[in-house]
Amino acid sequence: MGSLAPLTPAFAHFGLADGEDVSHGLFVGYVLALLGLIAFVIYRRRKSTQESPELKSLKRQLRDLERSLTACLAQLKNADEYPNECGLTEEQRKERLKSAASIRGKIDTTKASLAAI
């Protein structure tokens, strides 16, 4: 009868815990970690819903501009390091430098707009 419905707590490692219930401490730790994860997800969702659409749009635009600047600079760097494989003509190089400068200007104006909001 006792094996069907045990009334005493189970010990971890077959009762080698010297009378302490180690599994209870592990259970509490896992529950706290799970609650922390759930709280973080709720916090992130609430934070994202409180942002205005303009702010979301500016952040998205800033990410896109930074990504395109990184790609442009990577092309220039690859062309410098591997001229035979990824070489650019002088005209293409000037065009990439000009577009990188333009993108940097757009990033600065977007950051200024974000600071103003």
Interval 14-69: pLDDT, tens: 554 455 566 777 888 899 999 999 999 999 999 878 888 888 899 999 999 999 99
| Alpha-carbon gap, residue 73 to 5, rounded angstroms | 68
Q: What letter does residue 15 receive in the DSSP assignment?
A: G
The answer to whether residues 113 and 58 touch, using CB atoms and an 8 Å cutoff, is yes
Q: What percent of the chain lies above the pLDDT cut of 90?
A: 47
Does the reported pTM lie above 0.85? Answer: no
Structural domain boundaries in the chain: 1-50, 52-117
Residue 87 corresponds to which tokens in the numbers above?
């070489």
Residue 67 corresponds to which tokens in the numbers above?
């990504």
| pLDDT for res 65 | 96
